[in-house]
Amino acid sequence: MLSDLRESGSIEQDSDVVVFIYRASKYDEDADPSEADLIIAKHRNGPTGDVPVVFLEQYPRFVDRARGAEPGIEQKSGEGPPLMDLADDFADEA
């Protein structure tokens, strides 16, 4: 995958970090749409590898899977990805 960037000029050479997003649900309709992986393909000053995350579709956001166990993110059966109750957070800030 990183080799695909070679055709796009000097992006591959000049970049310090290259991250790809993989969501199995885009290729397999039976896959959980809230599951995703951040694939760290290049990192000049650190490790590479896959980082499992939760995709919050209604807020185009990725959060750490471990965070899914925290209060405020709950899975409601049949309703898609985990939902984060941000209304309370916004009310507290106002």
Does 9 reside within a domain? no
Q: State pLDDT tens for residues 45-84.
A: 889 999 999 998 888 888 887 765 443 444 444 444 444 4
Q: How many domains does the chain have?
A: 1
CA–chain centroid gap for 89, Å, is 21
Tell me the C-alpha to C-alpha distance, in Å, between residue 34 and each of 27, 72, 81: 14, 16, 4
Domain membership of residue 4 (yes or no) is: no
The verdict on residue 58 lying in a domain is yes
Report, as an integer, the average pLDDT of 18-35: 92
Q: Which residue has the higher pLDDT, 3 or 56?
A: 56
Question: What is the domain extent for residue 87?
Answer: 15-93
Q: What is the pTM of this model?
A: 0.63
Residue 24 has pLDDT above 90, yes or no: yes
Over the stretch 82-93, which tens digit does the pLDDT of each residue have? Answer: 444 444 444 444
